[in-house]
Amino acid sequence: MTELAAHTEAHDEHDHHPTEGQYWLVFVALVVLTAIEVAWSFIGLEGVALVAPLIVMMILKFFLVAGAFMHLYFDLKILNGRLFSWAFFGALLLAIGVYFVVFAAFRWEI
């Protein structure tokens, strides 16, 4: 088991884990973004000016959680199998793409 453990360490991505401080930092960033989002929705903007920054912030929060908490930021760098990142982002883009088209077909009756 020890040889295996040693071998394990060589491949181990645990060296690349964030520190506790970095996790707290991510958390604070998430809270701040949420606060900005809420404030943004209250300042009376409308239309694209209201929606676009909200979407951007939402996407930022998404990548913060996925990248830091779900470790994807490190996994994608280290893993030599690009299939995995394709699979995950493929699923995401697929979902977004398909549902966007459905929405468009309805709302704008294209």
Partner 1 sequence: MTDVAVPAEVVAGHDAHDDGHHTSLGLSNTKLAMWLFLGSECLLFGALISTYLLSTANFIGEVVAGNPTVLATIPEALAEEFAAEGSVSPIFDIPFTSASSFILLMSSLTMVLAHKAISEGNYKNLRIFLATTAALGASFIAGQVYEFTVFFREGITYDGNLFGSAFFTLTGFHGVHVTGGILMLISLLIVSFRGKLQQDRAETVEIVGLYWHFVDIVWVLIFTIVYLIP
Partner 2 sequence: MAIIEEPLALPAGEPGPAVKPLGVFTRPRETTGLTTWLTTVDHKRIGIMYGAAAMFFLVIGGVAALLIRIQLATPNNTFLSGDAYNRIFTMHGTVMVFLVVMPIGAAFANYMMPIQVGARDVAFPRINAFSFWVFFLGGLMLNTSWFLGGGANGGWFNYAPNNGIAFSPSTGIDYWSIGLLIVGFGSLTGAINLITTVINLRAPGMSLMKMPVFVWMTLVTQFLLLFAIPVLTVAQLLLIFDRIFDANFFNVAQGADPLLWQHLFWVFGHPEVYLMILPAFGIVSEVIPTFARKPIFGYPFMVFSGVAIGFMGWGVWAHHMFVAGIGPLSVTAFSVATMFIAVPTGVKILNWMATLWGGRLILNTAMLFAIGLVTQFTIGGLSGVSHAIAPSDTQQTDTYYIVAHFHYVLFGGALFGFMSGLYFWWPKVFGHKLDEKIGKWNFWLMVVGFNVTFGPMHILGLQGMPRRMQTYDTVMGFNFWNMIATIGSFVLAVGTVLVLWNALVSYRRWKAAGSPNVGPDPWDGRTLEWSVQSPTPEHNFDESPAVTSLDDFWHRKYVEDENGQVRRVATGDELAQPGNPEGVHLPAPSYWPFVLAAALPIIGYGLIYNLWLIIPGALLVMTALYGWALEPADDLDLPDDHGHGGDDDDHDDGGPPGGAAEELETVQ
Alpha-carbon gap, residue 110 to 38, rounded angstroms = 33
Interface residue with partner 2, options 56, 78, 79, 105 (CB under 8 A) = 105
Q: How far is the CB of 103 from partner 1 (least distance, A)?
A: 6
Site size toward partner 1 (CB under 8 A) is 58
Binding of partner 2 at residue 94 (CB under 8 A)? yes
Token pair in block for residue 69: 């908490």
- The answer to whether the CB of 57 falls within 8 A of the CB of 41 is no
- The answer to whether the CB of 94 falls within 8 A of the CB of 87 is no
Token pair in block for residue 84: 């995995």
Q: How far is the CB of 56 from partner 1 (least distance, A)?
A: 10
Alpha-carbon gap, residue 32 to 35, rounded angstroms = 5
In the chain, what's the furthest Cα-to-Cα distance? 64
**Touching partner 2, residues 42-81 (CB under 8 A):** 81
Q: Which is nearer to partner 2, 40 or 88 (CB)?
A: 88
Q: Which is nearer to partner 1, 107 or 110 (CB)?
A: 107
Q: Coil, strand or helix: which one is 62?
A: helix
Alpha-carbon gap, residue 58 to 34, rounded angstroms = 8
Binding site for partner 1 (CB under 8 A): 3-4, 7-8, 11-14, 17, 20, 23-24, 26-27, 30-31, 34-35, 37-38, 40-42, 50-51, 54-55, 57-58, 61-62, 65-66, 68-71, 75, 78-84, 87-88, 91-92, 94-96, 98-99, 102-103, 106-107
